[in-house]
Amino acid sequence: MVRCFCGLLLVLGVALSDCPSGCCCPRPGALVLCESLGLRSLPRSVPLSTSVLSMARNQLCDVDHLLLPFSGLQELSLSHNQLPHFPKGLPPSLEALQLQENRITYLTAGSLRQLGNLTRLDLEDNRIRVIQPGAFAGLSKLRVLSLKGNRLLSLPLSLPPSLTHLDLSSNCISALDLQSLANLVNLQVLKINSNCLRSVPESAFESLPRLRTVELADNLWVCECDILYLYRWLLDGRLRLATDLVCTAPLHLARRLLLTLSVMAICPRMLRPNNTVPLNSTAVSAGGLQNHRMHAETRAKLAAVQPRPTTPGRLPRCSTLAAERKPSPTDELTQAPRANRVRLQSRLSPTQMALEELSYEDCLSLHSSPTPTIPAEGPPEDPRCTDNSTSYRPAGNYTASELTSPVLPTNKAGFLPATAPGPVRLPEPTIVTALLAVLCVLVAFVLLAVLLVLKKLLHRNQRVAPAQLS
């Protein structure tokens, strides 16, 4: 029934009050998808009773106060548009808001004040540089916050304690603020990889009792005394998967895995010449040294693990403000096969209305009507962060030879390891046998030919000799 009704709406154009022209409405009046239509303004025929609305991949520049009449709106997607700032006048009923890949540059203290019911906020791949203190203070129900791929230099202040997932990866953060982390008592997942972190302050993760996943790779780790807290914290087994933290300094430890190093290698001044008594008992405790001895076998195993292959020509992200946009899943969906249509129909239950699970292409695949035509003029290509733009090389991608030698040969650029010749591939045993057989046959033919020639010469000599005697 859903498939037939949606097809009738698009083909016959009836019930325009329930579904705007060109949009797809699997549940008219509740779920409305108006994606990739080149719209510059909100359609006037969107029902006010809509609870899930997607205006993704259009050319919207201003939606301030236009969505306030939708008092029952729970999920809203304005991603992949051209919004220059956080939308104003959004309905307080919103529970999920997607604003990724717009042109937002800042968040003020009052931008989100009215969104007290918000549980998920996605601001990925914008241009946010400044977040005023208290911008998230009123979001007491916010659980998932993504600020990935922006231009932040520090952690936002006054983050709500209700957060369980926080994504700050691919920014320019150079230090972890203990005050910002202190209130996140419910945080379970923290992603702060691909930033400019050099060390972690003492007791940074002690205030996060429920933390179970931390992503710290691709930072500018300085493997000196200040990193001993993170070193001991990882060896305690609290983060078993963080084995790809690579040192960028000092020079003699560059490109070495942090967990393969010893305390003496990281901080030589912490030990006396006899290597037994710590000079500063507050900095390195006896328990930390005991942990170091207990995990010697673990470090040996890590040293034998070959990291991911390097990607040439990549620099740390903090030297640039550009981030590579990832393709959206909707770009890969053109036509859903018949087997997928049953799966899509089963996801249209009244209890499941997440925009992450149903895209515009999924909706159109429920019927056989043609996809609405997109205007020839699309949104201009946004050269995101072209200033000082350059790709970077992840700090965790090095070969096994680079990890075992402190000084490596480099190419002309000075920061990439010289390419080592690959292993010589030996011929297969069957090929060697065949070559030997052919060689033996050729030798036999040569010997046979020599014998025939000698035989002819001997026979000729026997015929000539009697004639000379006579």
- Answer for the pair 42, 67: CB distance below 8 angstroms, yes or no: yes
Inter-residue long-range contacts of 251-255, CB under 8 Å, 24+ positions, other chains counted:
252/406, 252/407, 253/223, 253/406, 254/406, 255/398, 255/402, 255/403, 255/408, 255/417
pLDDT tens-digit readout, 19-38: 888 899 888 778 999 999 99
At position 23, the amino acid (one-letter code) is C
φ and ψ at residue 131, rounded to 5 degrees? -125, 110
Helices 2-12 + 338-346 axis angle, to 10: 110
pLDDT recorded at residue 321: 46
At position 118, the amino acid (one-letter code) is L
For residue 185, what are the CA distances in angstroms to 143, 159, 188, 198? 12, 11, 9, 24
N residues, the chain: 470
Give me 43's structure tokens.
Answer: 């359609």
Task: Give per-10-residue mean pLDDT for the chain (470 aa).
Answer: 42 54 84 93 91 96 94 96 96 96 94 94 96 92 97 93 96 92 93 95 90 93 94 75 83 92 88 47 42 52 48 48 43 46 52 59 58 44 40 42 42 41 53 89 93 90 64
In angstroms, rounded to a whole number, what is the distance separating the alpha carbons of residues 287 and 254? 27
Measure the CA angle with vertex 96, ends 91 and 98; round to 5°: 100
Sole residue written with tokens 């520090």: 154
Give me 353's structure tokens.
Answer: 């209305």
DSSP 8-class letter at 319: G
pLDDT recorded at residue 3: 42
Closest by CA to 415, choosing from 251, 217, 192, is 251
Rg of the chain, C-alpha, whole Å: 34
In angstroms, rounded to a whole number, what is the distance separating the alpha carbons of residues 261 and 184? 31
Give me 21's structure tokens.
Answer: 């022209």
In angstroms, rounded to a whole number, what is the distance separating the alpha carbons of residues 195 and 218? 7
- Beta bridge partners of residue 247, listed in sequence order: 221
